[in-house]
Amino acid sequence: MKTIWPIYSLLLTAINAQSLCDKASFVDRAGWGGREPTSITNLTRKPFSFYVIHHSYDPPNCYDDTSCIERVKQIQDLHQTTFGWADVGYHFLVGENGKVYEGRGWNRQAAHSPGWNDDAFGICIMGDFRTAPPNEKALNAVRSWIDCGIKHGHVKEDYYIITHRQSQRPGYTECPGNGTMDVVNKWPRYCSFQNPGTPLDANETLLSLANNFCGKEVPSPSSASTYFITHVILFFLLLIYSL
């Protein structure tokens, strides 16, 4: 019986070990030399239930720190100078160097998907993924960052992942490319909701539609109760073992 506690606590440590978030490699705005936004609107409806995945399509893929920073700046230029937006449109941008670049961040309204900008975090994988998927470094970075949003309380534990094309009427955009789509649609919290593009009832919003649909399609995470039960089972298995 005496030996059971050290073993149990070792196992606990292993179970609670690093979340994916701890593996994230993050570059803040100062780190990539972002320009100031021309205006800021704070998000007010957090924690969110949705992530929306994008690709940049143009400019092209980047695999090292120098070219990825160049890409982030190009995208900020396009959005801020050419489009006249307040700032780079995405909340975060990810390169195939495996780094996450801060766009508008966790606290500011972005401009990534009309109708979703107050209710979903937009993550853009930089590159053209119409055929090939993003590389493992980029995909791992996205997953880590998704995990960070939950760990830091910006996103609910029973969140959903959709893509830019699903957030808009059918045919609006092919973003994030079939290459990205074919990978992301196998992730556990992916939801196949598609914006119908038809007028909404007075009592509906895009968000309520999506929440309803995804709540039925994607099972709730096993968080609290399963977590507790796992520990009870683990403890008794060890107890039996040590007797």
Ligand X SMILES: *[C@@H]1O[C@H](CO)[C@@H](O)[C@H](O)[C@H]1NC(C)=O
The DSSP 8-state label assigned to residue 3 in this structure reads T
Q: What are phi and psi of 135, to 5 degrees?
A: -75, 170
Q: Which is nearer to ligand X, 25 or 178 (CB)?
A: 178
Q: Which is nearer to ligand X, 4 or 209 (CB)?
A: 209
Nearest to 88 by CA among 135, 49, 134, 122: 122
The DSSP 8-state label assigned to residue 22 in this structure reads G
Q: How far is the CB of 181 from ligand X (least distance, A)?
A: 7
Dihedral sign, CA of 162, 167, 172, 173? Answer: negative
Q: Which is nearer to ligand X, 141 or 148 (CB)?
A: 148
Q: How far is the CB of 190 from ligand X (least distance, A)?
A: 15
Rounded CA Rg of the chain: 20
> DSSP labels for 200-216?
PPTT--HHHHHHHHHHH
Q: Which is nearer to ligand X, 42 or 82 (CB)?
A: 42
Q: Which is nearer to ligand X, 8 or 187 (CB)?
A: 187
Beta strands in 103-187 (DSSP E): 120-125, 155-163
Dihedral sign, CA of 163, 168, 171, 175? Answer: negative
What is the longest distance spanned by two Cα atoms in the chain?
72
Q: Which is nearer to ligand X, 107 or 220 (CB)?
A: 107
Q: How far is the CB of 107 from ligand X (least distance, A)?
A: 5
Q: How far is the CB of 72 from ligand X (least distance, A)?
A: 22
Q: How far is the CB of 203 from ligand X (least distance, A)?
A: 4
Measured between alpha carbons, how far is 213 from 84 in angstroms, rounded to an integer? 35
- Parallel, antiparallel, or unpaired: how do β-strands 100-102 and 92-94 relate? antiparallel
Contact residues toward ligand X (CB under 6 A) are 42, 107, 130, 174, 178, 201, 203
Measured between alpha carbons, how far is 27 from 102 in angstroms, rounded to an integer? 6
Q: How far is the CB of 71 from ligand X (least distance, A)?
A: 21
